[in-house]
Amino acid sequence: MTQTSSQVCVLGTDGVDRLIRLLADGGRTVIGPTARDGAIVLAPLSGGADLPYGWGVELEAGHYRLRRREDGAAFAHSAGPQSWKAFLHPQREREWSADRTADGGIVVVPDEPPPVAYAFLGVRPCDLRAIAVQDRVLDGGRFADSRYARRRRAAFLVAVECTEPGATCFCVSMDAGPAAGPGYDLALTEVVDAHGHRFLARAGSLEGESVLARLPRREADVSTQQAAQRAVEAAADRMGRTMPAVDLRDLMAETLEADRWNDVAGRCLTCGNCTMVCPTCFCTSAEEVTDLTGEHTERWRRWESCFDLEFSHLSAGPVRSSGLSRYRQWATHKLGTWHDQFDTSGCVGCGRCIVWCPVGIDITEEAHALERERHAPPAPHSLGDHP
């Protein structure tokens, strides 16, 4: 292929394979989507053959299935059960260990994880926004997480624009897709048509430009650019879900006593699945583990969920003892009071919480129900009622 400007160009499937190998040769651990165990999962990639070419997904509330595609696309699938949070903000991580010495003293050794330089390939626009939200939460305030910051600053992000939204996607409502926003090093848009299988590529950073310049590529022809634009625009019109077109922060604040919370509480299992799959939930707890002799102990940090009864606990007991209060806390924080803390929504419209809820609770359905109740006329008094 001819060598052209690296700003905007076209890669073939060989170019994506070379991208993976080039990033790995540069010392990065390349993570991307692959088909495994009945799902599209994020795992280390060694080459383009590991990508889920020809696989799509079938999504609904409480439902996820792989399905074969006829076009052989690699990225025409929606967000899977994992997000990039699992690599930047691990689910469980040791913070320090301590040992009792022979003279009765204690030696504490902080645990410093080995440095790792990730390259994330296939970051959806919703997940790109989620990473930006996590940056704000974990690296943007007075109490920055130094471990997160090291991993994040060393990460190389290859975004892939969405051309195939799922039935549970609503990123348009959250202004998080389907086009890639800022924050990527490279962005790809997959095009499969009569002219072949290819990827419109553009750089978003100096490092991205440097990498793109070393890949086999050709000039970005008008046909490919137009096809890529049409595919992304069409995806915006095919979102499976929407949020009500209102200020969600006000909606949450004005419906705290709505009857709808009782309805959802009757279905919610308070299992915490929604918080585990959410790409922006960040809460953690600390646990200490000792050996049987009492001579060695370790402190581990692990993900925590606001659906856990012990999540908010005072001397008198749990702050939120009912399932209703815990679901309401999660939803109103995610869509409302997150703005007060971080000047942004905590929801990016990926739909994972809908898919992986075992009883199919749908946060968009709940928001629409709250909006209807907010504007519903008051129930009429019966003849026996008194004002």
Same domain, residue pair 146 and 257: no
Q: Is it the case that residue 23 has pLDDT exceeding 60? A: yes
Same domain, residue pair 314 and 204: no
Instruction: Return d(Cα 291, Cα 224) in angstroms, integer.
Output: 61
Same domain, residue pair 121 and 214: yes
**In the numeric block, which tokens belong to residue 127?**
């997940």
Instruction: Return d(Cα 55, Cα 135) in angstroms, integer.
Output: 31
Please check whether residue 1 lies inside any domain of the structure: no
pLDDT one-digit tens code per residue, 38-51: 999 999 999 999 99
Please check whether residue 116 lies inside any domain of the structure: yes
Q: How many domains does the chain have?
A: 2
Same domain, residue pair 258 and 133: no
**In the numeric block, which tokens belong to residue 366?**
């709940």
Same domain, residue pair 228 and 157: yes
Given 216, 236, 256, the domain boundary residue is 236
Please check whether residue 382 lies inside any domain of the structure: no
pLDDT for the residue numbered 385: 52
Instruction: Return d(Cα 273, Cα 308) in angstroms, integer.
Output: 11
Same domain, residue pair 175 and 137: yes
Percent of the chain surpassing pLDDT 70: 96
Please check whether residue 216 lies inside any domain of the structure: yes
Q: Is it the case that residue 314 has pLDDT exceeding 80? A: no
pTM of the model: 0.92
Instruction: Return d(Cα 30, Cα 32) in angstroms, integer.
Output: 7
Q: Is it the case that residue 142 has pLDDT exceeding 90? A: no
pLDDT for the residue numbered 330: 96
Please check whether residue 159 lies inside any domain of the structure: yes
Instruction: Return d(Cα 242, Cα 174) in angstroms, integer.
Output: 9
The pLDDT of 19-43, averaged and rounded, is 97
In three-state secondary structure terms, 349 is coil
Given 236, 261, 289, the domain boundary residue is 236
Please check whether residue 243 lies inside any domain of the structure: no
Same domain, residue pair 256 and 218: no
pLDDT one-digit tens code per residue, 242-284: 999 999 999 999 999 999 999 999 999 999 999 999 999 999 9
Please check whether residue 50 lies inside any domain of the structure: yes
Same domain, residue pair 257 and 281: yes
pLDDT one-digit tens code per residue, 340-364: 999 999 999 999 999 999 999 999 9
Please check whether residue 3 lies inside any domain of the structure: no
Least confident of 5-19, 171-185, 246-260: 5-19
Same domain, residue pair 141 and 255: no
Residue-number span of the structural domain to which 38 is assigned:
8-236
